[in-house]
């Protein structure tokens, strides 16, 4: 059936003569409704475009704030490399997003001892990053009065609080003073840089890796409960003895839970293989080769989780005092 010529050339509607008044009125009302709907659609498109522009402005502002927050979070790290006599401490932190929930660092206890910590807050993003900022204050090297890893004696001298007691204090702080559902895992170490004696408390965090001078790798520790879940939770500690040439590595689960394309995790065995394969790499450069190995394993230059680590290179094992060589 051939269309009427008017429709065939693009008309929306037509009336045949003689024109019926009622039909003409109905057609006009229908056309008015169509015009009204088109006008409303145009208005909605304009509103959507305006909202999209406003959202983009807000997004850009948030992105700028997150970049500043990233700088602030990176500033929470102690010096990324520090020498203590013949010994050294190296730090690494890379967030999976703009900001993350990992935190690593160290603090001075005495001429002979330092504290090391590796923290992983649950979740990702801004809320986790804010919690790491608060936790950094409780393990600050510059504020011994606030540092839960230290206790002030009657003589006014600060000494180490046992790692398990410090973790227990953090547990009560999170549950009693922080209105949050977040929790975190931690490895807290009291390290004697003269004798090589390490006392550690592990609260739900990945096991520390101890690489001996002969290249072999051990993963001591017993796991433990995360911090901020159970009121009155008890935490314990264990001891590790380092000898000259040994090194201690603390990592977040962003390392051991790095997955290959098939979903297989790197795990402790994979981390041990990286350590053994790069035994001769100095502590300062080790994290570069670790990230390269993780990238090769995952076939990706980006990781799903934050990646952080602390490495202590122990060179001495005697009773001499250790002097920090730089501030």
Q: Cα(275)–Cα(271) distance, rounded to whole angstroms? A: 6
Terminal Cα-to-Cα distance of the chain (whole angstroms): 92
- What is the reported pLDDT for 323? 46
- What is the reported pLDDT for 36? 84
Q: Which residue has the higher pLDDT, 37 or 78?
A: 37
Contact 102, 131 (CB under 8 A): no
Paired strand residues for 12: none
Domain that holds residue 227: 79-313
- What is the reported pLDDT for 319? 43
Identify whether 189 is part of a domain: yes
Tell me whether residue 117 is exposed, middle or buried, using C-beta atoms within 10 angstroms of its C-beta: 0 to 12, 13 to 18, 19 or more: buried
Question: Alpha carbon 85 to chain centroid distance?
Answer: 30
Identify whether 65 is part of a domain: no
> What tokens does 6 get?
């008017």
Q: Please give the average per-residue pLDDT across 204-218, as a whole number.
A: 97
Question: Alpha carbon 326 to chain centroid distance?
Answer: 28
- What is the reported pLDDT for 83? 92
pLDDT in tens, 98-110: 667 899 999 999 9
Q: In which band, very low, low, confident or very high, does the pLDDT at 325 lie, cut at 50, 70 and 90? A: very low
Q: Which residue has the higher pLDDT, 1 or 38?
A: 38
Report whether pLDDT(189) > 90. yes
pLDDT in tens, 153-176: 889 899 999 999 999 999 999 999
Residue 116 per-residue DSSP state: E
- What is the reported pLDDT for 105? 93
Identify whether 63 is part of a domain: no
Identify whether 121 is part of a domain: yes
Report whether pLDDT(143) > 80. yes
pLDDT in tens, 284-314: 899 999 999 999 999 998 898 889 999 999 9
- Supply angle C-alpha 134, 200, 166, rounded to 5: 40
Q: Please give the average per-residue pLDDT across 251-276, as a whole number.
A: 96
Identify whether 195 is part of a domain: yes
Q: Which residue has the higher pLDDT, 223 or 125?
A: 223
Identify whether 244 is part of a domain: yes
Q: Cα(146)–Cα(15) distance, rounded to whole angstroms? A: 87
> For the chain, what's the residue count?
327
Residue 262 backbone phi and psi in degrees, to 5: -90, -5
CATH of the domain at 211: 3.60.40.10
Identify whether 242 is part of a domain: yes
- Supply angle C-alpha 209, 212, 214, rounded to 5: 140
- What is the reported pLDDT for 71? 62
Give whole-number Cα distances, 73 to 24, 29, 130, 238, in Å. 71, 64, 9, 30
Identify whether 36 is part of a domain: no
Contact 283, 225 (CB under 8 A): no
Q: In which band, very low, low, confident or very high, does the pLDDT at 5 lie, cut at 50, 70 and 90? A: low
pLDDT in tens, 227-239: 999 999 999 999 9
Number of independent structural domains in the chain: 1
């Amino acid at each position: 059936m051939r269309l009427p010529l008017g429709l065939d050339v693009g008309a929306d509607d037509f009336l045949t003569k003689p024109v019926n008044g009622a039909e003409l009125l109905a057609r006009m009302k229908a056309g008015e409704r169509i015009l009204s709907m088109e006008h409303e659609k145009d208005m909605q498109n304009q509103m959507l475009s305006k909202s999209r522009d406003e959202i983009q402005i807000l997004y850009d502002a948030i992105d700028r704030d997150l970049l500043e927050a990233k700088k602030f979070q990176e500033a929470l790290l102690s010096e990324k490399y520090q020498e203590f006599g013949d010994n050294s401490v190296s730090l690494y932190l890379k967030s999976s997003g703009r900001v993350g929930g990992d935190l690593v660092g160290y603090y001075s206890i005495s001429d002979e001892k330092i504290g090391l910590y590796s923290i992983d807050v649950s979740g990702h993003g801004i809320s986790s990053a804010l919690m790491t900022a608060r936790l950094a204050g409780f393990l600050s090297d510059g504020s011994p009065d606030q540092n839960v890893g230290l206790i002030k004696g009657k003589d006014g001298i600060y000494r180490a609080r046992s790692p398990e007691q410090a973790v227990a204090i953090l547990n009560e702080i999170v549950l009693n003073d922080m209105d949050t559902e977040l929790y975190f895992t931690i490895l807290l170490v009291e390290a004697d840089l003269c004798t090589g004696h390490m006392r550690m408390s592990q609260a739900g965090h990945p096991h520390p890796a101890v690489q001996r001078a002969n290249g072999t790798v051990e993963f001591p520790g017993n796991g433990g409960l995360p911090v901020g879940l159970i009121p009155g939770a008890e935490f314990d500690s264990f001891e590790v003895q380092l000898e000259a040439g040994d090194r201690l590595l603390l990592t977040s689960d962003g390392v051991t839970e790095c997955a290959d394309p098939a979903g297989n995790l790197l795990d402790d065995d994979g981390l041990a293989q990286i350590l053994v394969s790069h035994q001769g790499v100095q502590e300062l450069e080790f994290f570069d080769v670790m990230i390269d190995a993780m990238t090769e394993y995952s076939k990706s230059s980006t990781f799903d989780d934050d990646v952080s680590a602390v490495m202590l290179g122990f060179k001495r094992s005697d009773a001499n005092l250790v002097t920090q060589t730089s501030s």
